């Protein structure tokens, strides 16, 4: 996904745009650009790579920037066309008078491009976005009304698009358009902002307007009009921003990722306080339609990446506590499979950002098959919520670092709460349910205990940062923990890591083992598989692999097998994924930081993948 911003007002426009883009860098950082309108000209500045490169370009033109009255900006995660300056946004019309920035994908851009090329329009980039510029310009040349030209063009576009558009001859306005990609308008005092997401305007405005799909905003310094794609004026209410400036500050941490790892105990404490104030009362999930859910005979959970790992953990305890079949699948696979989803299905879509294209498409398909759609997301204002029949907001606070950490833990807690709430509505509160609810309340303190052990994990990271590959193993409910730990390591340190079922090691991966392939094992005592996984670790030891254990066991024998042992507090196996995952987050973080990686903005990644 990309980030777009617009500013119109009396402040230094370039500065306001760069500030907004800085707070949207988690959305992509392949290239960046701004267009500035000073009532005489529109000047475009672009740079490949990080936003700081664009700042360097702007610093060379300081004197030219003083008279701008409005501008638009863009930060890119490349979809169509490599991250070159030519493909960077803003894109402009042939006469340089009309400029546009875009987040999303124009699915029918090829046919439109052919149509425009036949009419003599020359393209200078490989992007889908440039099609929109020439489409709007074609009408503008006849109507000389930017609003009319935009309304005409959007009717031809298919796919997802959030635009900010400016024209040299209409310097008093910026037009913003939303369809299947988020966009907000920040309402200031004699100035107004447009942005893909709230972090861009935190600390700048107190009130925002969320554009809904097929809506356009005509934004000037002291007026904002919202219209639908038929040009009818809409009466949209402004909402107060609930996030503070602290949300987008590192608060003294070196990286957002470390801040967000350390926030987890308080976030879980807040979630539990909201949802389960008293273990003797039913768990409160006010936006869940229990009448519908209690009728369902099967569950499918669809997600991507880290959210998919949360879904995999949920399968174990949902089937255990509810006795209902739970199918878990990557959204990108679900979309292209002939599924058996029907009116008896509860389809759970998990997405931190709520903008992941694969998950949204999959959820839409399930809804078309009459499933009941329950969405778990950290962004109740996101696109996926449009398809929710029931909703569980994660309440984890904005997650800035590209690597998902606190949102994963919040997903697990929310899935535990959903399952326990379902179980206590299906039957009276059994002793086991009561015990599990009580133990859930103890998790924040146990997370704090793990975080207090960070130096041990940091030492472990120094010992193991030299390796080029890792294997993570676990069994049962912690198999997804191994997979998530491996994903965290590879996505921020660029070290290859794979998560395997420990029982599968001997069926192939064991061929990889030698003194250069460390094995990290998650093992929980008192479980049916503890002895088995210990044997797997001994098999790995026999092949000279160096071993790390993440365990709540204090068995002395472990010292004869493992080179490093990372202790976690004891818990019921059901909750062990929450506890075992945090050391893996910290291990990945410290290895990546030791290697000097861009921890919060790893190469090639973006916080949400809004393309299939
Ligand atoms: C996790 O660290 C990654 N950033 C990525 O796998 C992410 O979990 C995935 O893209 C799904 O994102 P979502 O939860 O916003 O849908």
Task: Give the CATH number, domain containing residue 225.
Answer: 3.60.20.10
Give the residue from 329, 382, 375 showing the smallest Cα distance to 354: 382
Q: Give the tens place of pLDDT for each residue, 454-476.
A: 999 999 999 999 999 999 999 99
Give dist(CA 161, CA 225) in Å, integer.
19
Residue 279's pLDDT is what?
A: 86
Give the residue from 495, 504, 450 showing the smallest Cα distance to 473: 504
Considering the entire predicted model, what is its pTM?
0.89
Nearest-atom index, ligand 1, CA of 377: 14
Whether residue 227 lies in the annotated active site: no
Confidence of residue 496 (pLDDT cuts 50, 70, 90): very high
CA angle, corner 335, sides to 345 and 479, nearest 5? 75
CA separation (Å) from 455 to 451, 460, 586? 9, 9, 10
All residues at 6 or more sequence positions from 434 whose CB lies less than 8 Å from its CB, including other chains: 279
Residue 594's pLDDT is what?
A: 97
Both 571 and 586 in one domain: the answer is yes
Domain that holds residue 18: 3-247
Residue 299 belongs to a domain with what CATH number?
Answer: 3.40.50.10490
Both 231 and 141 in one domain: the answer is yes
Q: Compute the half-sphere exposure of residue 558: CA atoms within 13 Å on the CB side of its CA.
A: 23
Report the first-to-last Cα separation within the chain, whole angstroms.
Answer: 11
Any alpha helices (H) in 351-405, and if so which ranges? Answer: 357-368
Return the number of other C-beta atoms located less than 10 Å from residue 576's C-beta.
Answer: 26
All residues at 6 or more sequence positions from 576 whose CB lies less than 8 Å from its CB, including other chains: 477, 478, 481, 522, 524, 552, 568
- Report CA 212 to chain centroid distance, whole Å: 20
Whether residue 435 lies in the annotated active site: no
Nearest-atom index, ligand 1, CA of 403: 2
Give dist(CA 530, CA 523) in Å, integer.
6
Structurally, the chain folds into a number of domains equal to: 3
| 182-186, 315-319, 379-383: range with lowest mean pLDDT | 379-383
Give dist(CA 370, CA 342) in Å, integer.
6
Confidence of residue 251 (pLDDT cuts 50, 70, 90): confident
For residues 326 and 318, the answer to whether their CB atoms sit within 8 Å is: yes
Protein residue closest via CA to atom 9 of ligand 1:
305
- Report CA 473 to chain centroid distance, whole Å: 26
Length of the chain: 612
For residues 114 and 128, the answer to whether their CB atoms sit within 8 Å is: no
Nearest-atom index, ligand 1, CA of 304: 11
**96, containing H or E segment:** none
Both 197 and 115 in one domain: the answer is yes
Residue 492's pLDDT is what?
A: 97
Both 126 and 156 in one domain: the answer is yes
Distance 356 CA to ligand 1 centre (A): 8
Both 7 and 61 in one domain: the answer is yes
Pairing of strands 174-179, 70-76: unpaired
Nearest-atom index, ligand 1, CA of 402: 4
Nearest-atom index, ligand 1, CA of 306: 8
Q: Does the pLDDT at position 64 exceed 80?
A: no
Protein residue closest via CA to atom 5 of ligand 1:
305
Decide: 23 in ligand 1 pocket, CB within 6 A: no
The pair of three-digit structure tokens given for residue 104, joined into one six-digit string: 């999303």
Both 517 and 605 in one domain: the answer is yes
**540, containing H or E segment:** helix 530-541
Give the residue from 344, 348, 316 showing the smallest Cα distance to 329: 348
Determine the residue of 29, 303, 306 to mutate for testing ligand 1's pocket, defined as the one with the most ligand atoms within 8 A of the Cβ atom: 306
Beta-strand runs (E) in 395-553? 469-474, 496-501, 519-523, 547-551
For residues 308 and 483, the answer to whether their CB atoms sit within 8 Å is: no
Give the residue from 75, 77, 108 showing the smallest Cα distance to 90: 75
Please confirm whether the linkage preceding 90 is cis (ω < 30° from 0): yes
Both 444 and 470 in one domain: the answer is no
Phi, psi of 261 (to 5 degrees): -65, -45
Secondary structure of residue 5 in the 3-state scheme: strand
Average pLDDT value for residue range 181-194: 96
Give dist(CA 486, CA 362) in Å, integer.
25
- Dihedral sign computed on CA atoms, order 105, 106, 111, 113: negative
Both 427 and 571 in one domain: the answer is no
Decide: 352 in ligand 1 pocket, CB within 6 A: yes
Both 242 and 261 in one domain: the answer is no
Q: Among 22, 173, 227, 607, which one carries the catalytic annotation?
A: 607
Q: Among 2, 164, 262, 460, which one carries the catalytic annotation?
A: 2
Distance 303 CA to ligand 1 centre (A): 9
Q: Give the tens place of pLDDT for each residue, 503-541.
A: 999 999 999 999 999 999 999 999 889 999 999 999 999
Both 63 and 211 in one domain: the answer is yes
**491, containing H or E segment:** helix 479-493
Distance 309 CA to ligand 1 centre (A): 10
pLDDT mean across residues, the chain? 94
Average pLDDT value for residue range 542-553: 96
Residue 428's pLDDT is what?
A: 64
Q: Does the pLDDT at position 87 exceed 90?
A: no
Q: Give the tens place of pLDDT for each residue, 409-425.
A: 999 999 999 999 999 99
Decide: 400 in ligand 1 pocket, CB within 6 A: no
For residues 429 and 286, the answer to whether their CB atoms sit within 8 Å is: no
Listed residues 392, 427, 451: the one ending a domain: 451
Beta-strand runs (E) in 221-371? 223-228, 233-234, 239-240, 298-303, 326-330, 345-351
Distance 403 CA to ligand 1 centre (A): 7
Q: Give the tens place of pLDDT for each residue, 304-362.
A: 999 999 999 999 999 999 999 999 999 999 999 999 999 999 999 999 999 998 999 99
Decide: 384 in ligand 1 pocket, CB within 6 A: no
Confidence of residue 429 (pLDDT cuts 50, 70, 90): low
Give dist(CA 596, CA 578) in Å, integer.
28
Q: Does the pLDDT at position 69 exceed 70?
A: yes
For residues 472 and 482, the answer to whether their CB atoms sit within 8 Å is: yes
The pair of three-digit structure tokens given for residue 514, joined into one six-digit string: 């030698």
The pair of three-digit structure tokens given for residue 142, joined into one six-digit string: 């006849």
Give the residue from 8, 464, 405 showing the smallest Cα distance to 221: 8
Confidence of residue 212 (pLDDT cuts 50, 70, 90): very high
Decide: 304 in ligand 1 pocket, CB within 6 A: yes
Both 273 and 141 in one domain: the answer is no
Listed residues 199, 220, 247: the one ending a domain: 247
Listed residues 451, 471, 490: the one ending a domain: 451
Both 438 and 507 in one domain: the answer is no
Decide: 247 in ligand 1 pocket, CB within 6 A: no
């Amino acid at each position: 996904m990309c980030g777009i911003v617009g500013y119109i007002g009396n402040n230094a426009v370039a500065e306001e745009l760069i500030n907004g883009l800085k707070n949207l860098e988690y959305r992509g950082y392949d290239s960046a650009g701004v267009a500035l309108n000073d009532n005489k000209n529109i000047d475009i500045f672009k740079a490949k790579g990080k936003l700081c490169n664009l700042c360097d370009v702007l610093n060379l033109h300081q004197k030219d920037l003083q008279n701008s009255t409005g501008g638009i900006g863009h930060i890119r995660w490349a979809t169509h066309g490599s991250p070159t300056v030519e493909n960077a946004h803003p894109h402009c019309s042939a006469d340089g008078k009309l400029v546009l920035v875009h987040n999303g994908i124009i699915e029918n851009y090829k046919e439109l491009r052919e149509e425009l090329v036949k009419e003599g329009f020359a393209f200078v980039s490989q992007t889908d976005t440039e099609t929109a510029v020439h489409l709007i310009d074609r009408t503008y040349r006849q109507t000389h009304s930017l609003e009319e030209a935009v309304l005409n063009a959007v009717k031809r576009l298919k796919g997802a698009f959030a635009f900010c558009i400016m024209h040299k001859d209409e310097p008093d306005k910026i037009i913003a358009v939303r369809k299947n990609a988020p966009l907000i308008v920040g309402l200031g005092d004699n100035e107004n902002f447009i942005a893909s997401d709230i972090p861009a305007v935190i600390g700048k405005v107190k009130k925002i307007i969320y554009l809904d799909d097929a809506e356009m905003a005509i934004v000037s310094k002291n007026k904002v009009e919202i219209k639908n794609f038929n040009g009818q004026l809409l009466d949209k209410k402004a909402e107060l921003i609930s996030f503070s400036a602290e949300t987008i500050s590192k608060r003294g941490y070196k990286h957002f990722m470390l801040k967000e790892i350390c926030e987890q105990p308080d976030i879980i404490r807040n979630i539990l306080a909201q949802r389960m104030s008293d273990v003797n009362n039913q768990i409160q999930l006010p936006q869940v339609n229990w009448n519908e859910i209690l009728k369902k005979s099967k569950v499918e959970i669809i997600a991507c990446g880290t959210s998919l790992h949360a879904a995999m953990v949920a399968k174990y305890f949902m089937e255990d506590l509810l006795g209902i079949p739970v199918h878990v699948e990557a959204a990108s696979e679900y979309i292209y499979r002939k599924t058996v989803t029907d009116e008896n299905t509860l389809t759970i879509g998990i997405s931190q950002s709520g903008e992941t294209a694969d998950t949204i498409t999959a959820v839409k398909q399930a809804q078309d098959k009459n499933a009941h759609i329950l969405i778990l997301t950290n962004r109740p204002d996101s696109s996926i919520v449009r398809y929710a029949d029931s909703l569980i907001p994660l309440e984890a606070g904005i997650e800035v670092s590209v690597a998902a950490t606190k949102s994963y833990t919040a997903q697990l807690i929310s899935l535990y709460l959903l399952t326990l709430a379902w179980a206590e509505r299906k039957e009276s509160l059994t002793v086991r349910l009561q015990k599990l609810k009580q133990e859930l309340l103890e998790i924040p303190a146990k997370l704090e205990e793990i975080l207090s052990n960070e130096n041990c994990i940091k030492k472990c990271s120094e010992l193991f940062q030299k390796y080029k590959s890792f294997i993570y193993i676990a069994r049962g409910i912690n198999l997804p923990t191994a997979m998530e730990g491996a994903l965290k390591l590879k996505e921020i340190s660029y070290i290859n890591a794979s998560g395997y079922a420990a029982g599968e090691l001997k069926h192939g991966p064991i061929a990889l083992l030698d003194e250069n392939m460390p094995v990290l094992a998650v093992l929980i005592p008192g479980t049916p598989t503890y002895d088995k996984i210990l044997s797997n670790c001994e098999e790995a030891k026999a092949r000279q692999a160096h071993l790390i254990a993440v365990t709540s066991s204090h068995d002395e024998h472990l010292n004869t097998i493992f080179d490093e042992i990372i202790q976690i507090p004891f818990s019921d196996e059901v909750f062990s994924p929450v506890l075992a995952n945090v050391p893996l987050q910290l291990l990945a973080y410290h290895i990546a930081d030791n290697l000097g990686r861009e921890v919060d903005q790893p190469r090639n990644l973006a916080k949400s993948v809004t393309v299939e």
